[in-house]
Structure 1
Amino acid sequence: MDCSNLKQCFESDMQDTEGIILVVDNDSDVLFTASLILEDDFAEVHTVQKSEAAFSFLGKNDVDVVLLDMNFTKGATSGKQGLSLLEQIKEIYPEVQVIMCTAFGDIDLAVSSMQKGACDFVMKPWEPVKLISRINKALANKQKLEVAQIEEVSETETQSRLVFLSTAMQEIMKLVEKVAATESSVLILGENGTGKGLLAKEIHRLSQRTHKPFVQIDLGSLPASLFEAELFGHAKGAYTDAGEMKKGMIEMADGGTLFLDEIGNLPPMLQAKLLTVVQSKRIVRIGEMEERSIDFRLISATNMPLEEMMEQSRDGMPAFRRDLFFRINTVEIVLPPLRERVEDIPLLTSHILQKLENKYAKKELKLSQEASISLKKHSWPGNIRELEQVLERAVILSDSEVIEAEALKLRGIHQSSNTNTLESLNLEEMEKQAIVKLIDKHKGNMTKVAKELGVGRTTLYRRLQKYGL
């Protein structure tokens, strides 16, 4: 069969669509087939075989939709390469719509890719008409997002994203309103997923610094080797890779708010360096001698028991410095876990579903009565972050706008803490479920959880991060 006849086989009854499409796949035959299927229906169709070429093309062209393979190494089936590339594309080019495709897909890969920003997921070999339809849907979604961005009013930028009804949260917000008007350092404590970052932004929003920068630094993910370069900045030529002068993140917060997240994870030696800056409000870029005065309001957060850590040894020093603790802790705010503010769950659920409606172009999402009851009965060891994950997964997998209880329980880890049934014999799933049960048993006391698991706290926190708890 020659090319002209093959094209006729692939023709659909759809009208030609404007749109620039980029297909990324390591298989040249797949790229040829994609061009053949799509070139009559879209304004431009481009193909590349390597991720480097994809980023080069995206940097020079206004691409609308990327059709992205999940595996780029021969024999690979995990999808990790594609998911990593997806995250990079969405971080740099958030407006680009990405459709993931693979011959080795499963439901978990589909969910993971859409949670990381993909708009759709298709299996190979492609059905031409369906593939064209999926790309048209992605183009329509991109247009909707562009319209929404244009119509977005400034009011939404300043409104708090904190959602609550509970008495506990109302009391916390009264304290926040008082503290925001001052320059006091604030320490926010609470389990993972309780909204410490949102509370920090709310304090900034209500402060006199609201129109100045809010700079967030995740100290838990910052390698010790990059600590000074990232926080203090460097001069051009200060070290081998310092090709240009770079401001540090602390300097970027000048006039505004500096939010140090996961401060409890900072090693003692780096705590000493941070203490000097917090005390003096001065920094010196690497490779310079000049001191620079920085005006910032300090907010810190952690899920770790700092007071206990001050009594514990780490590398021959207190796990957390007492002098630093008092510098960051003029006012302490403790966020309650979701299990202690159950009355907030319906409102939070409604708020999350509204966001998911926009993200996945669905209308009037709601829970069945049984699903609503199920949410209230769950212990939520992962707090609001877990609630968001459960709802997003349910929305992705539900064909209807009404989400049923069974859609929320697709994974054994999200079952009520009363269940003793292991729904999966996957070792990682079993480990995750064990951690969740122990967190619930010890009411969030991570020291006791780590002790019963027989691991160190550092290992436990790595596991929590790995499993999104």
Structure 2
Amino acid sequence: MTTFRSKVRETDTAHDAGSPCLLFVDDDRDIQVAARLLFQRRRIKILSAYDAAEALTLLASHPVDLVLLDLNYTKGARTGAEGLALLKDMLVLRRDLPVLVVTGHSGVSIAVEAMRTGATDFVMKPWNNDRLVSLVTSVLEKCGRNNGFDVEPVLITASDAIKQIVSEADRIAPTRACVLISGPSGVGKMLLARRIQDLSSEASAAQSFSAEDCGDLPQEGGVWICREIEALSPTLQRRLTDRLDGSAPPRLIALSSLDFAQR
């Protein structure tokens, strides 16, 4: 396995500082993952909160442009009361904060009440992806935060260190070698992985997944890009080893924020 360790300055990282930031409040991890995949493809940063305390902490500590709030964000909730209470707390912190509420069990009436409380609009669950994206895009445009939707992040090779890393990545890209890319968050590990995929001989698109949210490995082969590989459970580690040792193994591009050279 080829290993890259990122030794880059701030100017060598991916440009995502201008991307809009969406805070999504819902306790369902599967729905959180689906939303993350939906919006990350559109260059919208997603912050995930699973309860009220986490949501308020993230709101107070991050430049959130828009909140997507499930009115029944904990398991078993049906009335929407907890969502309304959190909505009020959020608007105390940020009076002008755009909030889209998500409702399913509670119906339209509670969504209307949320809008009277200060919500911008509502979405019914299960949502339609096109409708949700259109609504989020519209709200962000009104806030002047639509920059980044159609802009591909770029890997800036300003230093000799990153030039050397990119050159080595280009060299091994056409091979079937598995790759480990390590470095701090934000240095462009995913961009480097995508570059390797783009220059590889694989015809199909890479399958990207996070070890932290992974319940099982992809069923198909091809190229796998696994983020935070160190978080993969022991069970999935064994399955991954079996797949890599199999007759038609995937090409694994593993990403990690750990510095394995120091371990």
TM-score (norm 2): 0.46
Greater RCO between the two (CA within 8 Å, min separation 6)? 2
- TM-score using structure 1 length: 0.26
- Of Structure 1 and Structure 2, the greater helix share is in 1
Q: Which has the larger radius of gyration?
A: 1
